[in-house]
Structure 1
Amino acid sequence: MTLSLAMITVDTADPLPIARWWAEQTGGSIVAENEGWFVTVTLGDGQPMLAFQKVDDPTPGKNRIHLDLTAPDRAAEVQRLIAAGATLIAEHEMPEFSWTTLADPDGNQFCVATAGTH
């Protein structure tokens, strides 16, 4: 049996604003709002969807799973994300690989690296 990744779901107290933020940042679009309790964002053909699920008490602290994203110009993309409401957490450097850790407006951490370096 083979599994395929279809959707990545994030728990949040208020799904619609954070779904809108991620849709805007990824060039995706909201495809279902489900009265605000489960909002899904499509990222395009062949890519998993993002979903934001309303929960009364989101898990506190650092998220255990995070998104690793890439961009052709990491520095420009990081600046764009910060201007859009992301928070810079840290810059990381290793031989032949570097990445930036950010948090979205809801506090969920994610990383951005230069495309082709993973």
Structure 2
Amino acid sequence: MSHMGLRLGMITIDTTDANSLARWWADQFDGEIVADNDGWYVMVRIGDGSPILSFQKVTDPTPGKNRMHLDLTAPDIDAEVARLVEAGASVVGTHTMDEGFTWTVLADPDGNQFCVAPEH
């Protein structure tokens, strides 16, 4: 069944400071800010064919836990988690499934949660 060529092009995150949060995420991916729209909608290219990350300035972000999050992978999750914490992220928790699969939940400087897991 065809879905008319639907593709994921951008992931947008609400924030009260789009420039600052976009710069933080650009630094984590060694990416680049490709549009800043006077700080109200900042777009970050993270390379390797990944969708654009964008940060939309809002006066009142949705309260509570974010309903959608990024699942990131790395060859050495312990080293990557340590690097992210050094850069300003905070560890929310580490989880292990019965099969031994382990991942770490972190929060970016704005409190948005994301996960880091081993590459498949």
TM-score bucket (shorter structure): over 0.9
Partner of 1:50: 53
- Percent identity over the alignment is 64
What's the RMSD between the two structures over aligned residues?
A: 0.8
Partner of 1:99: 103
Shift of 1:45: 4.1
Shift of 1:2: 2.9
Deviation sequence 1:28-74 (CA, Å, 0-9, x none): 11001100000000011421000000011000111000000000100
CA distance in 2, matches of 1:86, 1:74: 14
Partner of 2:78: 75
Letter of the 1:93 partner, please give it.
T
CA distance in 1, matches of 2:65, 2:82: 22
Unaligned stretches of 5+ in structure 2?
A: none
Partner of 1:2: 5
Match status 1:27 vs 2:53: no
User: The residue matched to 2:42 in structure 1 has which SS?
Assistant: strand
CA distance in 1, matches of 2:37, 2:89: 26
Q: After TM superposition, what 4+ stretches of structure 1 lie above 3 angstroms from structure 2?
A: none
Answer with 1 or 2: which has the greater Rg: 2
- Say how many residue pairs are matched: 116
TM-score normalised to structure 2 length: 0.94
